[in-house]
Structure 1
Amino acid sequence: MSNLRIIPRLDIKGQNLIKSVQLEGLRVIGDPQEYAIRYYHAGADELIYMDIVASLYGRNNLSDIISRAADQVFIPITVGGGIRSVDDVRHILRSGADKVAINTAAIARPELISEVARRFGSQAMVLSIEAKQIAPGKWEAYTDNGRERTGLDVIEWAKRGAEMGAGELMVTAVDREGTRKGFDIDLIQQVRSAVSIPVIASGGMGTIGHFLEAAQEGGADGVAMADVLHYGRMSLADIRAAALDAKLEVRDI
């Protein structure tokens, strides 16, 4: 059993760390480098960087930010947003990322998942899924920061992504993102039981209790969080201590 991972998520627009609510209404937080280094020293297990406007421009612009971070941050870095091809993946990995998170391009051409997994290893291929609930126990996958419908059922898409070679899933509940109302536990449970690869829960963390729920009830292998850390509502040390108290398998630092 691998450790439950505590993962700050850094949404980037241009050179700025930003925060949104339900993937809209962006607010500038500050310099992503400062936050990345702070979270690294505070004991983050990984970092996720998402270029949130990249899909509009069709390319990821984070290589400079990532190469700066990789010089000072020695934990796995996942980068997503606007990654369209094996060449894009190679560029981001060469910049210092360990993994790429792909959503829009994988939905447009699922073979890309297999191509990336074959070329760089499945551990480098994270399938990013933006889920919106459409009925009780049913979710549709979206692209372009929760703006574009795909008609794909999230659970079926998660299964297909795993079969095609994704090494990990990052599942963002768009309805919960930035609301601090808690993760969509039903969504995490259903995805978790549909696949045998790790699942990262994203979208909705407001309390340490939400973190524990995602792990204990949802079965998440990693929990991504942004708002609660960026605004100093809680610390990574607090989260880790609560996880250890709850007998969750986290890295003890």
Structure 2
Amino acid sequence: MLIHKGGLVKTAGFKQPKYVGDPINAVKIFNEKEADELSVFDIDATANGAEPDFRMIANLAMECRMPLCYGGGVKTAEQAKRIVGLGVEKVAISSAAIASPELIGAAAQEIGGQSVVVVIDAKKDSRTGQYQAWTHNGAQPTGRSVIDVARQAETLGAGEIVINSIDNDGMMKGYDLSLAVEVRKAVRLPVTFLGGAGSLAHMEALVTSCGVVGVAAGSFFVFKGPYKAVLISYPSADRKDQLVRAAASGPALSVAGIT
């Protein structure tokens, strides 16, 4: 779930946020659909230099009946601790994890490494073919490779990495499998991939290529049909079991030199 000006929005290529509803109502529906985990990213906070909206976070946590991850505007370990105190299981940091890498370790000490998620917004350099990390909603290049940032996050104590494909965001044409495989081979941490899901087949292709990984989506759970009517949905338990079986039969990847 992306939050922009207090509303739930969806983007395409990190641009042109489209309003799709009220965040609290969406949480209620995802509760009924028995979603596995919910991630909420305030896309205004870092871009505007604002701190997290603690009142909004508290309201979301109070309503949410599944593990909740929040990201947006987190710059200090104290903020992360306050967010967890509101009932959030995981705190995501993105821009600050690159600008101030020491925040990763400091946050891990405050709330436990298992609750620290580093989100890396990835974009392919058309000249070199390499994947670069960007910040501030894809507006600022860092000049660093996604692999470098991911490995640093692992070394500094993050408990999970989320790779968000800028190029595939909102396209609903499938994940960037090349990016996914490259990252999955580079780190031992749990990795979740976001950006591009338009069908369960896309999710199956991801877990078949990478094995056991987190499979995240936004537009797929919100839009329905060729005209993208807003209809919040979630796969049934049987369909999710298919993904688990696909992951179990996936490749035995060599991760950081360890099979």
* Common fold: TM-score over 0.5: yes
Equivalent AA in structure 2 for residue 93 of structure 1: V
Deviations 1:212-238 (A, max 9, x none): 112121335211111121124584234
Aligned mate of 1:134, from 103, 119, 125 = 125
Partner of 1:78: 69
Give SS of 1:71's match. helix
Unaligned runs of 5+ in 1: 1-9
Aligned counterparts of 1:220 and 1:181: Cα–Cα separation in 2: 21
Q: Is the 8 A contact 1:185 1:214 kept in 2?
A: yes
Give SS of 1:158's match. helix
Task: Note if 1:204 corresponds to 2:190.
Answer: no
Aligned counterparts of 1:249 and 1:60: Cα–Cα separation in 2: 38
Aligned counterparts of 1:125 and 1:148: Cα–Cα separation in 2: 23
- 1:107 deviates by 0.5
Task: Note if 1:241 corresponds to 2:238.
Answer: yes
Distance 1:232 1:43, change over 3 A: farther
Deviations 1:21-65 (A, max 9, x none): 111101111111111121122121110000001112223444223
Partner of 1:67: 58
Task: Note if 1:108 corresponds to 2:99.
Answer: yes
Deviations 1:178-236 (A, max 9, x none): 01111111111111111111101001111111111121213352111111211245842
Partner of 1:13: 4
Q: Is the 8 A contact 1:58 1:84 kept in 2?
A: no
Give SS of 2:210's match. coil
Aligned counterparts of 2:188 and 2:31: Cα–Cα separation in 1: 28
TM-score w.r.t. structure 1 length?
Answer: 0.89
Aligned mate of 2:23, from 17, 32, 52 = 32
Distance 1:36 1:232, change over 3 A: farther
Sequence identity percentage = 32
Q: Is the 8 A contact 1:37 1:69 kept in 2?
A: no
Note the aligned Cα RMSD (angstroms): 1.9
- 1:249 deviates by 6.6
Aligned mate of 2:163, from 171, 178, 184 = 171
Deviations 1:90-146 (A, max 9, x none): 222222211111111111111111111112111111000000011576200000011
Q: Is the 8 A contact 1:51 1:60 kept in 2?
A: no
Aligned counterparts of 1:131 and 1:165: Cα–Cα separation in 2: 21
Task: Note if 1:156 corresponds to 2:154.
Answer: no
Instruction: Report 1 or 2 for greater relative contact order, CA contacts < 8 Å, sequence distance ≥ 6.
Output: 1
- 1:248 deviates by 4.1
Equivalent AA in structure 1 for residue 18 of structure 2: R
Unaligned runs of 5+ in 2: 226-231, 249-259
- 1:12 deviates by 0.2
Report how many residues are paired: 240
TM-score w.r.t. structure 2 length?
Answer: 0.87
